[in-house]
Amino acid sequence: MDGLTRSQVASEANVHSETVRYYEKRGLIAAAPRNKSGYRMFSQQTVTDILFIKRAQDIGFTLEEIKNLLILYKKDEELPTQEMHKLALDKVEEINKKISQLQHFKALLEEATKRPPSMWSVSREQCPIMQKCAKGEE
């Protein structure tokens, strides 16, 4: 049986071998059959799929979203434009919310850094950064 071992796939896709195992467990890549020695043997397509997954993660898609993207990508027919349009609209909305959250947190950090450290209180209850991380408060 020809194919690639998990470590070979990981090396070619530039990921850790546990990442390959995790993606297989999550159903993002196809389960690999075992050879006579008991090693899982993956196809070259697995490397291509992992590279797709990593690129999609880099631009902000979650693994669940990527799972759906892979299903659409692997269909022989044309992409369903309505689904892709809705996915794009939802992602734009999510990104806008994230930008707003980041801008708000940046303003909080900028305000905190205007004061020298000697003026900061030692109480975590009075530290706006700690409160934001602990409770979501400002």
Single pTM value for the model: 0.74
47 and 27, same structural domain? yes
**Distance, CA of 59 to CA of 63 (rounded, Å):** 12
107 and 51, same structural domain? no
The per-residue pLDDT string of the chain (138 residues; one tens digit each, 9 = 90 and over) reads 579 999 999 999 999 999 999 999 999 999 999 999 888 999 999 999 999 999 999 998 999 999 988 988 887 677 778 888 888 899 999 999 999 999 998 998 888 788 777 776 667 777 777 777 887 755
**Distance, CA of 52 to CA of 73 (rounded, Å):** 10
In a domain, 21, yes or no: yes
The domain total for the chain is 2
**Distance, CA of 84 to CA of 34 (rounded, Å):** 36
- Cβ 79 vs Cβ 72: under 8 Å: yes
Q: What is the phi/psi pair of residue 116, to 5°?
A: -70, 150
Q: What is the pLDDT of residues 68-86, one digit of tens each?
A: 889 888 876 777 788 888 8
Question: What per-residue string of b and e applies to 72-111 under the rule 16 or more CB within 10 Å gives b?
Answer: eeeeeeeeeeeeeeebeeeeeeeeeeeeeeeeeeeeeeee
87 and 64, same structural domain? no
48 and 93, same structural domain? no
- pLDDT (0 to 100) of residue 103: 96
85 and 70, same structural domain? no
**Side chain identity, residue 74:** K
70 and 91, same structural domain? no
Residue 97's domain spans which residues? 81-135
Among candidate residues 29, 51, 74, the one where a domain is terminated: 74
